[in-house]
Amino acid sequence: MTDTIEIRGGTELPAVREDIELRTSDGLTLVGELAVPADGPIVATLVTLHPLPTAGGFMDSHVLRKAAARLPALAGVAVLRFNTRGTSSPRGTSDGAFDGGVAERADVEAALAFVAERGLPHPWLLGWSFGTELALKYGREAAVDGVILLSPPLHRTTEDELRAWADDERPMIVLVPEFDDFLRPPEAAERFNVLPRATLVPVDGAKHLWVGESQTRRVLTEIVAAVHPEALPLPTEWPTPDRSAAV
């Protein structure tokens, strides 16, 4: 009988994890990590854009960290995380200074250039909070399969930038917490009404930060439903290593 562990909070499943550096067009070095499946092919790639760094957001913000910890093993999905300019995490500090989403365009472009250079397949932009603003501002011209937005505040995205996506045929999945601090489902439905192809997913009981294992699992399930639905349902347990094999 195979022993298993429950997949929760700090669980890190097998993957090949590589510390990486991204070079921006304005000469900065950004620090990050690429996690890819330890076995089997990469079926899709998530390019993650973290929450607002001036409010504590960084590449280790918990949903992004847990995506990197779980999805390579559970769904064959590669996860690229990085600190935007001036942002720090245990991985290190990226060059430059926070620019309110303006100069960060070069950061997004650097991440996507890295994905292209590595030949990582089927890239998707995954933005959370401030990261959704970067995805909406700069993702439309990018070579990505689609966009996933978590808790979009729509503070820095102009109406023109939003409407520019109206004729884009790529999927846009928008997860909006019931009790979000900035944009709740009724308001989100009104704002995103200009995008007929956007799929709005109201999440009952959720808040902006998606705290709790049940909310983490919901978010990761919605992500996989978009990029590799064949991997659903996501397991909630993982086999423990067979230690006897090493004896």
Q: How many residues comprise the chain?
A: 247
Between the alpha carbon of residue 87 and those of residues 33, 147, 222, the distances in Å are 14, 23, 27
Domains identified in the chain and CATH numbers? 4-227 (3.40.50.1820)
Query: Is the predicted pLDDT of residue 242 greater than 70, yes or no?
Result: no
Residue 159 corresponds to which tokens in the numbers above? 């109406």
pLDDT tens digits for 29-81?
A: 999 999 999 999 999 999 999 999 999 999 999 999 999 999 999 999 999 99
What is the identity of the amino acid at 81? R
Residue 17 corresponds to which tokens in the numbers above? 């994890």
State the Cα–Cα distance between residues 231 and 176, nearest whole angstrom.
Answer: 23
* Chain-centroid distance, C-alpha 135: 10
**Adjacent-strand bridge partners of 43:** none
State the Cα–Cα distance between residues 13 and 19, nearest whole angstrom.
Answer: 17
Computed over every residue of the chain, the mean pLDDT equals 96
The predicted structure's pLDDT at residue 247: 41
Order of strands, sheet of 198-203, starting from the edge strand that comes earlier in the sequence: 16-23, 29-36, 77-82, 44-49, 123-128, 146-150, 172-177, 198-203
